[in-house]
Amino acid sequence: SESRPLRVLFLSADTGGGHRASAESLAKQFLLQFPGSTYELADLWTDHGILPYRTLVNAYKHLSSHPRQWRLFYWLSNNKLNEIWTNTHSSFFCAKPIRERIKSFEPDVVVSVHPTMNYVPLRQTRKISKELGKHIPFFTVVTDLGSAHITWFEKNPDKLYVASDRLYKCARRWKGTPEENLVLTGLPIRHGFGMEAEKLGDRTTEAGKAYQRDTKESLGIDSSKPMVLVMGGGEGVGSLSEIVDQLYAKLTKQGVDATICVVCGRNEKLLKELATKDWESVLEEDDTKKKGKRGFFKFLKTRKKTNKFIQQAMKRAEETASEPNGKGNVDVVGLGFITNMPEYMVAADILVSKAGPGTIAEAAAVGLPCMLTSFLPGQEAGNVDVVLESGFGDYCEDPPQIGTEVGYWLQDADLMQTMSRAATQVGNPYAADDIVRSIGSQTVAWMNLNEK
């Protein structure tokens, strides 16, 4: 279709790193496909909301590291009754400044990538359209994977883009969004993933392995041993420190050589801790003590199934794995917030992470098996199901068990190959290209119409 520069207004907020990452991946595509385009990323609630809406980002920071409180919050808010109340209340107090903000940017198109930026902004955009006598299209791109909050979905955005069949059905069921307005793509991930996915190809082939080795070397990582990438989302949450200790201990004890790269995100405390840690003493620690620590609250924990197929393979691995000799050569590398995630995910052999939608979609795009270690109740529960059902990883909360299982995976080449191929089946490294092609062509069509 015709290409012309577009003024794009993204609506997002820094609740976790995922929404911004998605917006940026879409922005990049606008610049590539519609050269000369300009964009802005607006957090409408932080800038123009009254209390409690303007505290969104800090509230998320707190809640995401307190899963039980989060579960309560999610449960209380994820229903029609609360939605109607919040929509009415926030419209009454904040609609006007939000409308003015949107209008002041003079957008050709508005793209929401956040669950709280749909009802009010959509209606205000429609109002602006009426005022100006030209249609400004409004799109929602859902940046969740397996499950999503009800406020993501509106009946009548120009189009609603979702990443999974599950979410497609949610939109139909909850809001009756017509099928012609619903598009099933994938989660928009950064352009770098598309480029890396293309160069990597199938990581289980010789060519793929060679490219992975080169990538390791370019990152300064030992290319003669496997790399385990440990992540906790943008904030570096989840009991990362304990998980890293146990990975180190179990791999060493099993005699598996590996590099453990720990992405601490914005968690600087952890980064410091890793740099000064006495790893010898970690080996001596008794991990049975750790297990009972939170025993009292165990009944409050959300349990998740594990992947049967992988558990069977685990049993086999347990039998065939080399005699544990306690001589694995394991290095731990602490990393801050990294911006070259595609390279790190290509270099990695296994990802250990909480069940963030972006992180899982990125891993899938480069065929990287995943060990999921926690999830935020509510919107991340479905992500775990996506991974387990498609067979590219497992779920485990217990740090010693995580260490043991990852150690066995690394010794089972067949299992690694099966998981990697399953991941590739699910991933779409080019989702952002597809979404922007669709949004862009509709926007251009409206602009041409508006100018007539």
Binding site for ligand UDP (CB under 6 A): 16-18, 21, 233-234, 263, 265, 337-338, 341, 356-359, 362
Token pair belonging to 208: 């793929």
Residue 18 or 208 having the CB closest to ligand UDP: 18
What is the strand order of the sheet 258-263 is part of?
A: 330-335, 258-263, 227-231, 350-353, 370-372, 393-395
What is the strand order of the sheet 109-112 is part of?
A: 38-42, 7-11, 109-112, 138-141, 159-162, 182-184
CB-CB neighbours of 84 under 10 Å: 11
Residue 264 or 314 having the CB closest to ligand UDP: 264
Output the CA torsion sign for 409, 410, 415, 420.
positive
Question: Partners of 350 in the beta sheet?
Answer: 228
Residue 235 or 412 having the CB closest to ligand UDP: 235
For the CB of residue 7, give the shortest distance to ligand UDP in the complex, in Å: 25
C-alpha distance across the termini of the chain, in Å: 18
Position 217, amino acid: E
Residues 347, 215: contact at Cβ < 8 Å? yes
Phi and psi angles of residue 232, each rounded to the nearest 5 degrees, phi first:
-135, 35
Residue in 49, 50, 41 with CA at minimum distance from that of residue 14: 41
Residue 94 or 117 having the CB closest to ligand UDP: 117
Residue 245 or 362 having the CB closest to ligand UDP: 362
Residue 22 or 418 having the CB closest to ligand UDP: 22
CB-CB neighbours of 323 under 10 Å: 7
Residues 143, 13: contact at Cβ < 8 Å? no
For the CB of residue 101, give the shortest distance to ligand UDP in the complex, in Å: 24
Residue 20 or 101 having the CB closest to ligand UDP: 20
For the CB of residue 5, give the shortest distance to ligand UDP in the complex, in Å: 27
For the CB of residue 233, give the shortest distance to ligand UDP in the complex, in Å: 3
Residue 340 or 401 having the CB closest to ligand UDP: 340
Question: Partners of 97 in the beta sheet?
Answer: none
Helix 399-410 to helix 413-426 angle (10° resolution) is 100
For the CB of residue 239, give the shortest distance to ligand UDP in the complex, in Å: 16
Residue nearest to ligand UDP (CB): 356
Please give the Cα distance from 370 to 244 (Å, whole number). Answer: 15
Residues 369, 392: contact at Cβ < 8 Å? yes
> What is the 8-class DSSP label of residue 323?
P
For the CB of residue 12, give the shortest distance to ligand UDP in the complex, in Å: 11
CA distances 337 to 197, 298, 442, Å, are 22, 32, 36
Residues 351, 368: contact at Cβ < 8 Å? yes
Q: What share of the chain is helix, strand, coil (3-state, %, to 5)?
A: 55, 10, 30
For the CB of residue 228, give the shortest distance to ligand UDP in the complex, in Å: 16
Residue 174 or 337 having the CB closest to ligand UDP: 337
Residue 16 or 440 having the CB closest to ligand UDP: 16
For the CB of residue 19, give the shortest distance to ligand UDP in the complex, in Å: 7
Residue 115 or 121 having the CB closest to ligand UDP: 115
229, exposed or middle or buried, with CB in 10 Å at 0-12, 13-18, 19+?
buried
